[in-house]
Every structure is written in C-alpha cells, then in structure tokens.
Amino acid sequence: MPAVLPQSFYARDALVVAEELLGKLICHDDVILRITEVEAYCHPHDTASHCRFGRTARNAPMWGPAGHAYVYLCYGMHHMLNIVTNVHDEGAAVLVRACEPVSGAEVIAARRGAIRGPAALTGPGKVGAALGLDTSYSGKALFKPRGLRVLDGEPPSGILIAPRVGIGYATPEHQAALWRFAAAGTDYVSARKLLRPLGAVTAAPMLAPLASRTGVTPLRQTKRPRRS
C-alpha cells in the first residue's frame, strides 16, 4: 500500500497541489479511488472561492491548517470533498471533481444506486457519495494512518486544463481562469468539452507567471517544486 501523503504536501499554493493531486489515492473504509479531476480555489481574491467573503462557520476548515478536509453540502443533497491547501489563515482548497475506482467496487455501486462506470464517479457529489462522506468529515485530517486519508500514487501520463465548472457568480476573469486539472487518458473525467492539454512538464523547477497559464493576474506567484 502506498504511503499516506504528509501534511507538508498540502501546505503549498492550491494550484500546485491541485495538479499534483492527480493520480493520488483517496481511501475510506473499503473504498479506494484514484483522483482524476480537481479544481483549485485560491488565495487571495478568488471570487469563486467560498472564502471570498471571509471566514464563516461553514468555511472555517478551508482557512487551515493544510491537509484537512473541507466537506460542504451543495443543493441540500451533494457532499463535496475539498482538500485544504496553503498556509494557515489563507483560505484555499482543491475540490475533488472526479475519480476512478481502485478498490471497493461493490460498496461504491451500493452507495451510488447501482450505477457503475464513469457515470458513478464523474462529479464532486458523486465522489462524496461513493466515499460515504457527510459534513461531519469537514475538518478531519487527511494525513492520518486510518480513516479518510490520501495516499501517494502514480501521476497521469498527461494533464488537461480548463475553466472551473458552475461558478457563474464569479468575476469574468475568474470564470475564465484555467484552474481545473484532469488526467489524460481516462474516461473518469467530467465536463470534457473545454479540456485541453496543459503541455509538456519538465523536471526542472518551473515558474511561468500564473497569468500565462490562467489568463488572469496572478493571485500569488508560486515556484513549482522540483519533481522527483
């Protein structure tokens, strides 16, 4: 079994963590899922973020510390799993939008009303249901050896990017920002129409200004760590 990711993995800019979460494994009970699609919600000034109006009782876990879950209820029925990033008191997180099954297919099918295949796991509410989550998991550490946790995993062969989904309330620049990341070569990806290749990723440290990748003024320029 791969190692549990350390808390330090998450204590970086949401855009960096989002991309590197692709291929990692989420474990809960008998279910193991491989992350195939995520969205970054950044600090500061991201008008699509739940933290855009400041700290509230609901979004308090999103303000840190990093490496904890932020689970919220959407439309009164969907439990959405976010992974908190950045340093303490910087409200930022990565939404897990889609996964593919690794283990626990029968448990997933039971939780998803007998739906199987990509339709069971391509959407953040579907991921939350497959993992058996509710808002009681909000604030739980994801770097402990038991319970809801995230394990290391192989990165995808390629990465796709696109604007985030369902954020019509955000400013036009943040609606257009390419802060959705998906694994190439899998059917377990939602809202495929706008996805396009990120491009070659080198092993060297890389700092293209975020504006060149997102089309907006950078929220904070963050150097990408060297990949091992």
Residues 6+ apart with CB under 8 A from 189: 36, 37, 98, 118, 122, 160, 182, 183, 195
pLDDT tops 80 at residue 81 = yes
Is residue 67 helix, strand or coil? Answer: coil
pLDDT in tens, 144-162: 999 999 999 999 999 999 9
Lowest mean pLDDT among 41-45, 95-99, 217-221: 217-221
In DSSP terms, 78 is beta-bridged to 74
Identify the pLDDT of residue 76. Answer: 80
Identify the pLDDT of residue 75. Answer: 79
Q: Among residues 22, 64, 15, 62, which one has the least CA distance to residue 40?
A: 15
Identify the pLDDT of residue 190. Answer: 96
Kindly indicate the confidence band of residue 219, based on its pLDDT and cuts at 50, 70 and 90: very low
Question: In terms of DSSP bridges, do strands 159-162 and 78-84 run parallel, antiparallel, or are they unpaired?
Answer: unpaired
pLDDT in tens, 165-213: 999 999 999 999 999 999 999 999 999 999 999 873 333 222 233 443 4
Kindly indicate the confidence band of residue 1, based on its pLDDT and cuts at 50, 70 and 90: confident
pLDDT tops 60 at residue 92 = yes
Lowest mean pLDDT among 90-99, 130-139, 208-217: 208-217
Is residue 34 helix, strand or coil? Answer: strand
d(Cα 13, Cα 86) in Å, to the nearest integer? Answer: 5
pLDDT tops 90 at residue 93 = yes
Identify the pLDDT of residue 112. Answer: 97
CB 159 within 8 A of CB 189: no
Name the token pair of 189.
Answer: 């990806």
Question: Whole-prediction pTM value?
Answer: 0.88
**Domains identified in the chain and CATH numbers:** 7-197 (3.10.300.10)
pLDDT tops 60 at residue 38 = yes
Q: Which residue has the tokens 């474990």?
A: 27
- Averaged confidence pLDDT in the chain: 89
Is residue 81 helix, strand or coil? Answer: strand
